[in-house]
A and B are shown apart, each in its own frame.
Chain A
């Protein structure tokens, strides 16, 4: 316990509290002005909504991938398994550049999409795509161990009792996987809010349209507006933290019933 508290303080709480202390000298009025500027508000909205959509897509894609990795044997499975972690290892800027190239009007996907007048780059959709990539491993890696430890017998029991595959999934598997899924999605979501490197290359960073909150902080820093930057960061931190706290509470409530 003491060790955990010390560790958390040293590597999480103390550095983060610097944001707080940097903001205090600013005073209330300039703080409010800084964080309620239309550009900043728009960036919050964008960051949270894109991170949310990306996390939802990751929930489905990650569940499916984890399923395939656990339940099926096929050649190249090891390679696929390793590929899942790639977004963790790759510098996010590299991912961003890859996406920007792929979806640019002359890129492979961009060319095809341009035929239907669809544009990905410089739009929120582009941001979502980048965040899906970044958040994906979180979902897969949290669900995988739960799926692995789940006995096949449980599914077989449901089948013998007359349940269809869908009923088995809906009534047995999903409730079982739900806590892990929620954790994975939360992690992906949290990561999506803070993601910077991969997004700025594909987003185009148009003020009011595709400027994400971390970028707002960076641009304030570029203008040597340290107090403003930490004000924006503080709000971002508070919202993220309360959302994580809320999700944790939901999980706790979910779990409580089944424990003896």
Chain B
């Protein structure tokens, strides 16, 4: 039974960093705590590690109450954003540190320590660098050493605080995939904190979306992405077009246009609403395909890898629409700046109520 958080709260002065969070994490899962900066996700991680004390609530780690234990008795592995390697120790000694500081009776013999460290370094593909010092390694290499160091003490849970955010995009991608693979091999319960939705979607078994010290939604990446519980989650998970309007008699207003409201909102008399459309759920064509199509003019074209981003000014809408189409389609339609197109909105999500982004 992995980790159970019960009603954790934490305030810093007036500021409520964590507001009554409860969470269950099964053994062997890889969990992402996802949220904007300042949402309390790092604080939550630090509370689990014992680096921060919760004002109230309980932390149960493998059916043992560890709420008030100091970090060194919690047996967690912590990986820091900026690696926090020991500069004066070489790679081998960094990884061996956790074993060498064990009380004499529990400490493995020298040769056992050596075998374990070498095994770990091989696993993180850093076995060629045992004698190097951290200053001689690149960021990605340092983070891998930090990971090996955290795993050396056989932690019950591995906590990673924005582990890849200090790395450049290419290395980040690579390390992400590699971490996923590593986790599939060793199955240690892991929690990582990130503000990068892409990272969370790609890496995690389960995503916990946090905002203002509270959990907005939790579930598998698929669930969270396809069925966001509220406007915040929808907005936070990926790019989005937002239209402010009103919902009235089963219709949602979108500028001068009206769309059918989703079934669950059909019966609402009248309320302010927000309509969300993902850029890739927008269809573009040169010919009008239905009555509800919007007419627009392309104002900007941006390259996003294999996708093309379009900024389209539509008649009757006060803000331009962001759309994303495959490169192939872009070429086939012979699109260019100032070209007139028809815009089909394939899928919308409508949320009512006043929500601020």
Contact = CB atoms under 8 A, between A and B. Distances in A.
Contacts of A163: 72, 97-98, 101
A108 to B, nearest CB: 43
B72 A258 contact: no
Contacts of A154: 84, 86-87
A226 B98 CA distance: 63
A164 B74 CA distance: 13
A151 B88 CA distance: 14
A162 B72 CA distance: 4
A45 interface: no
Given A260-B133, A260-B136, A157 B87 contact: no
B86 A172 contact: yes
Contact of B149 (A153, A161, A164): A161
B236 interface: no
B68 interface: no
A159 B101 contact: no
Nearest to B134: A258
Given A161-B101, A162-B102, A176 B87 contact: yes
Which residue, A157, A172, A176, A259, has most C-beta atoms of chain B within 10 A? A157
B341 interface: no
B133 A161 contact: no
A: contact size bracket: 20 to 34
A259 B87 contact: no
Interface string A153-171: 1101111111110010001
A163 B135 CA distance: 23
Interface stretch (B5-13, B75-83, B176-184, B302-310): B75-83
Contacts of B124: none
Interface string A126-161: 000000000000000000000000010110111111
A201 B49 CA distance: 56
Interface in B39-54: 49, 51
B101 A156 contact: no
Contacts of A260: 133, 135-136
Given A151-B82, A157-B78, A160-B77, 5 more contacts: A153-B82, A153-B84, A160-B49, A160-B72, A171-B101
5 contacts: A151-B84, A158-B86, A163-B72, A260-B133, A260-B135
